[in-house]
Structure 1
Amino acid sequence: MQLWNVLSGKPFLTYSGHLPNHDPRPPWPITVVAWSPDGQRIASGSWLHIWDATTAATLLSYPGYQTPVNALAWSPDGMRIASSSYEDEAVRVWDMTRGETLLTYPGGPSPVAWAPDGRRIASISDESVHIWDATTGETLLAYSGHPSQSMALEWSPDGRRIASVSERTVYVWDVPKYL
């Protein structure tokens, strides 16, 4: 994985060692990246890996997946990260200080998105958009009628709506004020 200087058009930092040489898992390509909110860390997947954005040093590596991670999203405070993979058919929330799984929410592989307040997470499974509590994992609301697997999911900046994309259509869902 490389960071590029947009002015010169040349790479200036290379992140290597995404999968240790002794690891028995296949060397899947990196399929997703996400910057931490403070810009100090980068998360990458095929295997979930956290890097120092300025030195390219490995900060954390999560061994819990056997197939590539297909979605990553940092919590607004940068203390947690949500991930999804084809293997799990679930969304996992990881603690960034301890490197442990905090929650596993069924349904995936799915795009995943944190609400701007960090209290809720949205994901898609079973042709429904799910909103769930980011601390307890409790389902707060599910919107049915999403016609097929979504490719993207995003909260509005005010947390009042969720947009999802499937095939050639963008769906916008209103989030009730009580959530």
Structure 2
Amino acid sequence: MNQMPIQTVQTEEHQNQYSLLQQLQTGRKKKKLSNSTTADQKLDFIKAEEHKPIDDTVDSFLSHDDDSVDNTNTPFKILKRRSNRPNKTEHKGFTFGEVSCLHSFKSKVLSCHFSSDGKFLASAGHEKKVLIWNMETLDFVKTSEDHSLLITDVRFRPCSTIFATSSFDKTVQIWDSAKPSKSLFKLVGHAEQVLSLDFHPGKVDLLCSCDSNNEMRLWNINQRACIHVSKAATKQVRFQPRLGMLLATASGNVVNVIDVETNKPQSCLKGHNKEVLSICWDPCGKYIASISEDSARVWSVSGGECLHELRSTGNKFQSCTFHPAYSQFLVIGGYQCLELWNPNESNKTLAIDAHRGLILHWQIVYTLK
């Protein structure tokens, strides 16, 4: 297979300038927070779990968490680094490990997203509310319960306190994290459960959403109107970072790449045997990673070809993101663990224990030393 060019740090000396997931509580130096999109890697896995779907059109990952999970409302800022169960790995010049953990409620978290300035983290799921975490104080506030059913995705508008949510109640709602008591307005038009959404990185008034009936809608949120409807996405939609010229969508077992200006397909990336559950871009927008239960793939956008593939050996893949500072690493979420994979090196992964169940959606926090 062709090797993807390494687009970030090339030497161990340069890599040692960074440390991951350290000193979040002390607020030391400036933090950089990133989305679930970056460039060059794949992974392996560990355990598997069977679970039942709650809807014929939606994957089983939307089922409720086990009631045995702790339900504490302890503020995040008073939680300390876990010393009784260290989960820290040093790999080629950087550390990767758990800083702290919070159970704010029993309901499953389905999505999370950082604001562009890294000051806020929004998380949402079965509770039908969004938790907005202040990353300076590490406290959180909750939005009102304006959605009538679970929230499937949450995304911040670039360089703004505004964010959007999609829901099983067939609506998209727009919020302001500075005034979270009530949503600003609702976008109505989808006939089925809305499963994903994303803001354009440059045209910040442009929002894309998709539903379980493979319908994708482009919205102008200033006009509060739908400007285009097509059949192109079911599971997830993600704009190309920086320029936003392209839109990647997951539909069935394929990934579609669409020209945003013309609304025409540019390529159809085929190869997964099972439904694609998660997609992400590298920071430069040249590569796309896609995840199904049994495999992870990295694709060249320009060539429309699969550069690397990682097959599952037991654990079910669920989510993925390229590392923001080390784009040669792809990090995959599965059952109870995260796996770091460098596809240019091998088909072996470095597994790190994480949550008690499936890792459906997550982001990386890293600190510049």
Q: TM-score, normalising length from structure 1?
A: 0.83
Q: 1:166 and 1:68 mapped to 2: Cα distance? A: 21
- Retained in 2: the 8 A contact 1:35–1:42? yes
Q: 1:35 to 1:105 in 2, by over 3 A?
A: same
Partner SS state of residue 151, structure 1: strand
For residue 65 of structure 1, report the CA deviation from its aligned partner.
2.5
Query: Which has more radius of gyration?
Result: 2
Structure 1 residue aligned with 2:200: 75
Q: 1:4 and 1:55 mapped to 2: Cα distance? A: 13
Q: 1:8 and 1:35 mapped to 2: Cα distance? A: 19
For residue 169 of structure 1, report the CA deviation from its aligned partner.
2.3
Higher relative contact order (CA 8 A, sep 6+): 2
Q: 2:248 and 2:137 mapped to 1: Cα distance? A: 38
Does 2:259 correspond to 1:138? no
Q: 1:39 and 1:84 mapped to 2: Cα distance? A: 22
Q: 2:192 and 2:230 mapped to 1: Cα distance? A: 17
User: Number of matched residues?
Assistant: 168
Within 5 Å, give how 1:99-178 maps onto structure 2. Answer: 99-116=224-241, 117-176=243-302
Structure 1 residue aligned with 2:144: 16
Within 5 Å, give how 1:37-116 maps onto structure 2. Answer: 37-46=158-167, 47-56=171-180, 57-77=182-202, 78-86=204-212, 88-116=213-241
Q: 1:40 to 1:164 in 2, by over 3 A?
A: same
Q: 2:259 and 2:160 mapped to 1: Cα distance? A: 25
Q: 1:169 and 1:144 mapped to 2: Cα distance? A: 13
- Retained in 1: the 8 A contact 2:254–2:276? no
Q: 2:175 and 2:200 mapped to 1: Cα distance? A: 16
Q: 1:85 to 1:157 in 2, by over 3 A?
A: same
Partner SS state of residue 150, structure 2: coil
Q: 1:7 and 1:134 mapped to 2: Cα distance? A: 36
Structure 1 range deviating more: 34-43 or 168-177? 168-177
Q: Which amino acid aligns with 2:214?
A: E
Q: 1:153 to 1:32 in 2, by over 3 A?
A: same
Q: 1:55 and 1:137 mapped to 2: Cα distance? A: 34
- Retained in 2: the 8 A contact 1:122–1:129? yes
Does 2:164 correspond to 1:36? no
- Retained in 1: the 8 A contact 2:259–2:265? yes
For residue 176 of structure 1, report the CA deviation from its aligned partner.
1.1
Q: TM-score, normalising length from structure 2?
A: 0.42
Structure 2 residue aligned with 1:22: none
- Retained in 1: the 8 A contact 2:239–2:246? yes
- Retained in 1: the 8 A contact 2:161–2:176? yes
Partner SS state of residue 171, structure 1: strand
Q: 1:145 and 1:110 mapped to 2: Cα distance? A: 17
Partner SS state of residue 58, structure 1: coil
1:122-177 deviations in whole A, cap 9, x for unaligned? 11224221111112211111122222221111111111111111114221100117
Structure 1 residue aligned with 2:358: none
